[in-house]
Chain A
Amino acid sequence: MGIVGDVLDEGLEGLDHNFLTGNIEELVKWARARSCWPATFGLACCAIEMMATGSGHYDMARFGMEVFRASPRQADLMIVAGRVSQKMAPVLRQVYDQMMEPKWVISMGVCASSGGMFNNYAIVQGVDQVVPVDVYAPGCPPGPETLLHAIITLHGKIESGELTKRRAATGAGAGLIVEQRDGQASPLQIGR
């Protein structure tokens, strides 16, 4: 296995044994973290705080994130801001599917993260049932600082490569591992 084989198998992650390509990898991660364009997915009150985060007082442009894209094709990050109703869930999934890899998800606020105080039939009890979530921001709603904290956490994870590794390993971002149960009856003899 040479470098080419590693790259074919593992993508950029396969390059970290070489100081030159290692630095290129760092550069790519840095670039990804510094231009993480969000797709708007403001669903409820959290979206107001998300807008506030983009405005002058908090100014997400400092992180290269001021462009909220209306088209998922142009977005890297989906900030799910607000409660996701059962009817909205397929739409959310479709938007996520239309985003280009690499892509990340922040679940903003308790409603998106777990249903929050809306523990009822209408609300998806955690958006990670629909899409893989990378960072959860608590709060009802999270203030701009909390969202920025979540974004900085996400940047750190992007730069460290942790998220890409984990998602490659589990196929998900939420740390959820679903095991396939063996439903086949194996031959078993009892008695004499």
Chain B
Amino acid sequence: MGYLQGFAVTFKKLTEDRVTTEYPEQKRPKADRLHGRHVLNRYEDGMEKCIGCELCAGVCPANCIYVRGKDNPDGDPVSPGERYGFIYEINYLRCIHCDMCVEACPTEAITESKLFEFSFTNRADAIYTKNELLVDDDGMPQHLPWEDWRPGEDEMTSGWMRATASSGNAAYEGKVAWSGELGYGVRAPEIGQSQDAPPADTSDSGAH
């Protein structure tokens, strides 16, 4: 009569709560450290953070990023300093969302959002250019028609950043960060950098 025990399991499950998430009507909440599609950030004054340094392209294990820098136009600079990202393209049919670009970026220009629901019917559509990647005037990622954004998802765009500085020095707070033309200043401590540091104040980092 062992099979009755088996049926018992089935009938018991019938009465339990369903575990199914009704995607696309509902979405499960995303993990804090999920790596979704990238955004290119701006400073609060609207300047682009990207300086076209190609460090992201250099570190990318899948070679999915193509960047070319250019001299900032006289009188109408795109980014602070001499150089800006003239071409910025990410091929999402190569990107493995490893976040190395985000770690490599010296200006926190590129971060990853939590948006992971998108698909393409054409290879060419999968190459995002600066037009698609750059945040809008409010600092929010663009909601492209073929992507499945839900309320609140665009607010976690730079929710997690690597806790150590690019030099590998975990005690990064209180030090002058890379500045050059980007202004001098002391970087606010970030979560995980030290135990006694106050939690990061994300509002003044300029990133969204």
A interface residues with partner B (beta carbon < 8 Å): 56-59, 62, 110, 113-117, 119, 126, 128, 134-140, 142-146, 148-150, 152-153, 157, 163, 174-175
Note all chain A residues with C-beta closer than 8 A to B62.
110, 116-117, 119, 140
If A57-B21, A119-B63, A126-B123 touch, does A140 touch B116 (CB 8 Å cutoff)? no
Which chain A residue lies CB-closest to B146? A153
Cα-based distance from A131 to B122 in the complex (angstroms): 14
Q: Which 10 A-B pairs have the closest CB atoms?
A: A140-B96, A150-B119, A117-B62, A113-B93, A138-B92, A114-B93, A149-B117, A59-B20, A136-B120, A175-B122
Note all chain A residues with C-beta closer than 8 A to B194.
none
Note all chain B residues with C-beta closer than 8 A to A135.
119-121
Cα-based distance from A59 to B21 in the complex (angstroms): 8
B97 within 8 A of A: yes
**How many residues on chain B are close to A (CB under 8 Å)?**
32
CB distance from B59 to the nearest CB of A (A): 12
B152 within 8 A of A: no
Q: Tally inter-chain residue pairs, CB-CB below 8 A.
A: 101
Cα-based distance from A144 to B116 in the complex (angstroms): 10
B174 within 8 A of A: no
- Which of A59, A62, A138, A140: most chain B Cβ within 10 A? A138
B24 within 8 A of A: yes
Cα-based distance from A157 to B95 in the complex (angstroms): 25
Cα-based distance from A174 to B121 in the complex (angstroms): 7
B interface residues with partner A (beta carbon < 8 Å): 18-24, 27-28, 61-63, 91-98, 116-124, 126, 146, 148
Whether B119 contacts A137 by the Cβ 8 Å rule is yes
Which chain A residue lies CB-closest to B20? A59
Note all chain A residues with C-beta closer than 8 A to B18.
56
Note all chain A residues with C-beta closer than 8 A to B94.
110, 114-117
Whether A138 contacts B21 by the Cβ 8 Å rule is no
CB distance from A51 to the nearest CB of B (A): 15
Whether B119 contacts A136 by the Cβ 8 Å rule is yes
Whether B23 contacts A145 by the Cβ 8 Å rule is yes
Partner of A56 from B20, B61, B119, B126 at Cβ < 8 Å: B20
Partner of B93 from A138, A143, A145 at Cβ < 8 Å: A138
Whether A58 contacts B20 by the Cβ 8 Å rule is yes
Whether A174 contacts B148 by the Cβ 8 Å rule is no
CB distance from B100 to the nearest CB of A (A): 11
CB distance from B104 to the nearest CB of A (A): 16
Whether B118 contacts A140 by the Cβ 8 Å rule is no
Note all chain B residues with C-beta closer than 8 A to A115.
94
Whether B61 contacts A117 by the Cβ 8 Å rule is yes
Cα-based distance from A138 to B38 in the complex (angstroms): 13
